[in-house]
Structure 1
Amino acid sequence: MNTLMQKTQVAKQADSDLLQLVIFRLAEEEFGVDIMAVQEIIKMPAITVIPQAPEYVAGVINLRGRIIVVISLGKKFDIQSCDKNEEYKVIVVELENQVIGMMVDSVSEVLRIPSSSVDPAPDIIKSGVSSNYIQGVGKLDDRLLILLDLRNVLSEYETEELSQLV
């Protein structure tokens, strides 16, 4: 009986050491976000453009009667996304008690990776002011995943600005 309880505790510890991530692409780069922050992933719907919105704001969508601001992560991170394609997805997340959509080139998979395979972002990356949204870099076989800290993707000012758009 003691052995069974010990095995169960070891299994629970192993589960807690795993990160479950939604993996998506922007141009040629792969990014990951904690699945617990993701409400849903939808195909690219029709977007209504908002005049005089910040450049990274793609517009707003109606998601089952709820108006949601959609930001283009490619524009926000200054990454040239692919040309228009049918794979564009919107990852719906909650940031600072506000639901927003993040437009990405494609969503590829949900992965579980050990937290031990995540390294802090290199200093050269952390030195950039706009890179405080990078939580770390995940190593998976021959792939590197840039892990985003969604709490820092938008500044407090930008979050407030988006809440005023809706």
Structure 2
Amino acid sequence: MTSELLENSTDEAQEFLSFTLGDEHYAVDIMKVQEIRGWEKTTKIANAPDFIKGVINLRGDIVPIVDLRMKFNVGEPTYNEFTIVIVLQIHARIVGIVVDSVSDVVRLTADQIRPAPEFGVAFDSRYLDGLASVDDQMIILVDIAELITSEELALFDGDTTKDLNTNEH
């Protein structure tokens, strides 16, 4: 569990946006969600992994689009008017993630969040903040900042001081 979650008192709730990938339910910190939008055609990036679908221009920002369904080999990816993209702001950078569906906003206290196991979910537990049971469903809390800045995805270098739209390298 991240120290951010541990710092919350038992009375203080944190909000998460829940979504599905295949049969599993996930959630990300709602404060990182910029918007939820439908699929639009992307511009491909040469030599990018298959799960990086390309980039879109979102009101002047160039936004990489990652299909989490492909990244974690969960379900069959389709791209149509029902495809959901969650646009996130991570360390002053913007990225879109493709998911099967968006479920709900859930409020969780630190007492409701359990440590993540080392197995049994679609991806590496180092990208998880923990697990929570809501309405008899297990929700996997994703440390989306850790995932997006990871070497595995290599979307951003993890340097939080640079802005997405600068030409710094």
User: What TM-score bracket applies, with the shorter chain setting the length?
Assistant: 0.7 to 0.9
Alignment partners' CA distance in 2, 1:37 and 1:121: 21
Q: C-alpha separation between the residues in 2 aligned to 1:122 and 1:58?
A: 29
Q: Which of 10, 17, 31 does residue 36 from structure 1 map onto?
A: 31
Distance 1:153 1:93 in 2: 12
Q: Which of 108, 112, 127 is the equivalent residue of 1:117?
A: 112
State TM-score, norm by structure 2: 0.75
Partner of 1:152: 146
What secondary structure, in the 3-state scheme, does the structure 2 residue paired with 1:52 have? Answer: coil
Count of residues paired in the alignment: 151
User: Which residues of 2 match residues 45-56 of structure 1 at below 5 A?
Assistant: 45-56=40-51
How far has the Cα of 1:123 moved from its partner?
3.5
**What is the SS of the residue equivalent to 2:119?**
helix
Between the aligned partners of 1:82 and 1:36, the Cα distance in structure 2 is: 27
> Per-residue displacement from partner, 1:67-122 (whole Å, max 9, x unpaired)?
21101111222222454453321111122432111111111211212321111012
Check if 1:133 corresponds to 2:132: no
Larger Rg, first or second structure (1 or 2): 1
Q: Structure 1 residue 52: deviation in Å?
A: 1.6
How far apart, CA to CA, are the structure 2 residues paired with 1:55 and 1:131? 22
Q: What residue ranges of structure 1 are gaps of 5+ in the alignment?
A: 1-12
Whether 2:100 is the aligned partner of 1:105: answer: yes
Residue 40 of structure 1 contacts residue 92 of structure 1 at CA under 8 Å; is this kept in 2? yes
Distance 1:50-1:139 versus aligned 2 partners, 3 A rule: same
Counterpart residue number, 1:142: 136
Unmatched segments (≥5 aa) in structure 2: 1-8, 158-163
Letter in 2 for 1:107: V
> How many angstroms apart in 2 are the aligned matches of 1:65 and 1:97?
14
Alignment pair present for 1:76 and 2:71: yes
C-alpha distance in structure 1 between counterparts of 2:136 and 2:93, whole Å: 36
Sequence identity percentage? 36
